[in-house]
Structure 1
Amino acid sequence: MKRRLCLGAVCKDRMSYIGPKRTAVVRGIMHREAFNIIGRRIIQVAQAMSLTEDVLAAALADHLPEDKWSSDKRRPLKSSLGYEITFSLLNPDPKSHDVYWDIEGAVRRYVRPFLNALSAVGNFSVDSQILYYAVLGVNPRFDPASSSYYLAAHSLPHVINPVESRLGSSAASLYPVLNFLLYVPELAHSPLYIQDKDGAPVATNAFHSPRWGGIMVYNVDPKAYNASELPVKVEVDIVRVMEVFLAQLRLLFGIAQPQVPPKCLFSGPQSEGLMAWELDRLLWARSVENLATATTTLTSLAQLLGKISNIVIKDDVASEVYKAVAAVQKAAEELASGHLASAFVASQEAVTSSERAFFDPSLLHLLYFPDDQKFAIYIPLFLPMAVPILLSLVKIFLETRKSWKKPEKTD
């Protein structure tokens, strides 16, 4: 009852409500234009919860010209059958910091519920590691006014490459890898802050890179250095860290905060960190992305067949093409019917079958060795044999011609 009274006080000036379980409420008023006002509010709420132009543009960013969409539209990960998530603790100064983080408990309490809610999108694997003496590779600058160090926004892209060589997780992976790094700066560069483009410190002291992951700088409390000798025992506030990493994980999957209409009470996600209608919107976007990928692959295969005249399509390749076309049609029908889960599964089958057909070994040698390259390969082999044959033919022709011109003897 206390919760209802609190909500009633909050909702007094609210005209609509968006819930986590595909529910929305629009409040009516006594007015001669009540239906028009309510209709506009229903449209606003529906736009906030449905597939928007920005979400669709982000899903199709790889199939559109690069100059048409900004880099923010290319932030979400591409659709895949699975994803690997790696949490890494970077301790560049273990002589000064003895860092402990309860990453297993954090994954169990915060990450797993979110990934379980995303299980329809793909399979997930999570691992963690601790790297010692791993530096960022960019020298931070000192700010005399605040007696602190900072990383400017223009230097952040140069932070990833030196660190990525130490991670070693993406080299042997079959699926996209997301890296989330918690960096405890060395004592000589503490405290360390991240600045935005305007030179102001970032509130979360973290940043993320599209389709790669995120990095958070975790500063040690200055009072800890005065209370004990080195190395200082540092226990990471894992709740604060997971709030940042989960927010970055949502952005990397294209789950952005919705544009809430004015005077609307928005109920955030529950313990799993994902609302049901956000999952629906994500399945919509991924299904459209998969359909675009499958149709592009099939179109490229058709163009390849038109350019290479002597190509032979094997039965198994033709079977994969038929499967891909049928899966595309099924996914489109399921999307039209609103069956998002089955539409997404069918779109994944379409991508898998189309890529199997396009990258079949029987077609690859024709793709990489067209007719013009065959001439370039075989001419050097046959030219030494052709020269004496041509000279012999010329000699035979000249002798024959000479015999024709020789006058006959008369008695």
Structure 2
Amino acid sequence: MASTEVERKRGQLAALAIAAVVIIVGVPLWWRTTETYRAWLPVSEIKELAKLQLQLSVDVEVVFARGTLTPEQQKKVPLTQTEDEEHTVDEDTALRYRYETKYRTATIMEEDSLKQPTAAEADLSLHMLSENPCGSVVVYVIPESSSLLPEDVAVYIGQRRTAVLRIGADMRVGKTLPQLLTHLQPRVKQVLQVMSFSHADITAALSDRVRLSPGNKESMAGSMRAFKSSPGYEITFSLLNPDPKSHNLQWDIEGAVQSYIQPLLTKLAPVANFSIDSQILYYAVLGVNSRFDSSLNAYTLNADSLAHVINPVEARLGSSAASSNPVLNFLLYVPDAHHSPLYIQGHRKQHVPSNAFHSPRWGGIMVYNVNDNYGPETDFPVNININMAEVMGVFLAQLRLMLGVKSSNSPPGFLVAPCDNAGLADWELDRLMWSRSVENIATATTTITSLSQLLDQIGNIVINDNIAQQVSSAVTALQLAVGELEAGNLGFALQYSKEAILASERAFFDPSLLHLLYFPDDQKFAIYIPLFLPMCVPILLSLLKMASEARQRHRDKNAKKD
């Protein structure tokens, strides 16, 4: 009997030891090794991003030339005025515009520059003296007697970040300096509306972040033509030759790109990176039947049928699967001999002067007609050299439009200098940088906020250290971008906003987020219970038997006492 009792106690101790190991060591170890790894995220800072209020600051400098101020007025300059404006984008979002205006008199070298024969030469001379930072505007005020501007021009806006404003004699006589500045303020605001950001541009850039009202949706109509902000773009030039037996087309696309397109892309380098390629497609047709117009003795394409041109042509263009950047397509189509000349007609049956059209956020197509009056002794195919200056002039205008470079409507009395060989004025670049900075901030904020909400709702998604680092980098870059916008440092704001959108997209589209998306806790228990249940049942039965025997001994001991 003693041996049986010893064996029984040994079995009980073994069961207790196994149960202790399972409960103390096995269960925590199993739980720890099967839990979803979730690195720390700055959740509180991400929530603050949704409430972020943007403030755009512009440095404005008004420089008075000799003869614009009276001696009494001149004693009170230089001085600085700050003006804050708050605009409501929607019921939840407000924008603040801060204009810090500095007033001073012109230096001797600036006076010499303002004596140039033409305003364009004065603009260049002033630019050579000092280069103004991105986002700033300098307005030079000249007297009415100055011959720098034509008589019917009150304001000249050059290629740089400077404007020349003519002041009338009646504006300064008998007026104190504050009265003169108050009188000048509306005209300076008109200059800022042309050379700096506009409320419509910023509202459209915030479209990813706000719920737009009907009025704001109307202001976005023009912005829908432009491509969304991206770190890079692919530009493809394609020559479509549907009749290679008749036409042997020659185009100097490399030289044309270097002469007409590359200067613009070089100036747009702070905004995005660009890559360019070209191709020639033979036997490629538009896929839309043109109609013969006897009054014109030519074939025509109606504006209503232009939308059907894209799909058949796009199938021949090839894909850019090697890059995730948006592709801007520019197609030059030379009609075949049997459907030439070919003209594009607008909605009012009027001939389109450029003989080209563009598709928003896709690209542009130009129809290039050649002389097909060939005699019976003509040796086919005929060699044709395409006039690239004519073609690139059209493509350059379409490229500006699709990249978001908009031509502002100038008020009466304004003269805006035509674009130089770069195809883009400095202040036009600033306008694009303003909108792209705000758009990048809005897009990155939406991406990070959406990712945070997704990770909070689905607790089984793995958050590895790389994702956490990208999210933290995006949040930090967003905070820096907003701070630089508020300080008026447009170049740094754009750079930080680009870093924010890159980091946010890398985090949002990281493939590791999907590893355990379809492995919730109920599936975890369904997999492991068949494995552990056969082992746990004997241990559990032993523990129950031990508990029962302990209760029986306790009852027997109480019975003996009684």
Counterpart contact for 1:84–1:176, Cα < 8 Å: yes
Q: Is 1:26–2:144 an aligned residue pair?
A: no
Residue 190 of structure 1 aligns to which amino acid in structure 2? S
The structure-2 alpha-carbon separation of the partners of 1:291 and 1:32, relative to structure 1 and needing over 3 Å to count, comes to closer
Matched, 1:247 2:393: no
**1:139 is the counterpart of 2:289:** yes
**1:207 partner letter:** F
Question: How far off is 1:172 after superposition?
Answer: 3.2
In structure 1, the residue matched to 2:127 is none
| 1:11-410 → structure 2 map (5 Å cutoff) | 11-31=150-170, 35=180, 38-63=184-209, 68-69=217-218, 71-223=221-373, 228-367=378-517, 369=518
SS at match of 1:214: strand
8 Å CA contact retained: 1:86, 1:179: yes
The two structures have a TM-score, normalised by structure 2, of 0.62
Amino acid at match of 2:185: G
Which one-letter code corresponds to 2:187 in the other structure?
A: R
The answer as to whether partners of 1:27 and 1:38 remain within 8 angstroms in 2 is no
Question: Judging changes above 3 Å, is the alpha-carbon distance between structure 1 residues 361 and 33 closer, same or farther for their aligned structure 2 residues?
Answer: same
Runs of at least 5 residues in structure 2 that lack an aligned partner in the other structure: 1-112, 121-146, 174-179, 531-562
Identity %: 54
CA distance change for structure 1 residues 354 and 94 in 2, over 3 Å: closer, same or farther? same
Looking at structure 2, the residues matched to 217 and 271 of structure 1 have their Cα atoms a distance apart, in angstroms, of 24
- Letter matched to residue 258 of structure 2: R
The unaligned stretches of length 5 or more in structure 1 are 386-411
Q: Secondary structure at the match of 1:31?
A: helix
Offset of 1:83 from its aligned partner? 1.3
Helix, strand or coil at the partner of 1:40: helix
> Could you say what secondary structure the match of 2:351 adopts?
coil
- Corresponding residue SS for 1:11: coil
Q: Give the letter aligned to residue 340 of structure 1.
A: L
| 1:29-72 per-position Cα deviation (integer Å, ceiling 9, x unaligned) | 02258845532221111101111123224434455669735653
Residue aligned with 2:150, SS: helix
Given that 2:461 and 2:514 are in contact with CA atoms closer than 8 Å, whether structure 1 keeps it comes out as no
**Residues 225 and 286 (structure 1 numbering): CA distance in 2 closer, same or farther, change over 3 Å?**
farther
How many angstroms does 1:279 deviate by? Answer: 1.0
Whether the aligned pair in 2 keeps the contact of 1:87 and 1:179 (CA below 8 Å) is yes
Q: Matches of 1:248 and 1:269 in 2, distance apart? A: 15
Tell me which protein shows more helix as a share of its residues.
1
Distance 2:488 2:185 in 1: 23
Instruction: Give the 3 Å change call, closer, same or farther, for CA 304–93 of structure 1 in structure 2.
Output: same
Bigger Cα Rg:
2
Deviation of residue 223 (structure 1)?
Answer: 4.5
Q: Alpha-carbon deviations, 1:175-200, whole Å to 9, x = none?
A: 11111111000111111111112221
Q: Offset at 1:244? A: 0.3
Structure 1 residues 325, 263: closer, same or farther in 2, change over 3 A?
same
Question: In structure 2, do the counterparts of structure 1 residues 6 and 357 end up closer, same or farther at CA, with 3 Å as the change threshold?
Answer: closer
Matched residue pairs, number? 378
SS in 2 for 1:208: strand
| TM-score computed with the length of structure 1 as normaliser | 0.84
Query: Structure 2: how far apart are the matches of 1:162 and 1:65?
Result: 36
Q: Please list the CA deviations of residues 300-345 of structure 1 after superposition, one character each: whole Å capped at 9, or x if unmatched.
A: 1221133123445333322222111110000011112222222111
Distance 1:378 1:269, change over 3 A: farther
Q: CA deviation at 1:351?
A: 1.2
CA contact (8 A) 1:58 1:75 kept: no
Q: Which amino acid aligns with 2:448?
A: L
Matched AA of 1:41 = R
C-alpha distance in 1 between matches for 2:375 and 2:208: 49
The yes-or-no answer on 1:4 pairing with 2:150 is no
Q: Which moved more, 1:106-115 or 1:56-65?
A: 56-65
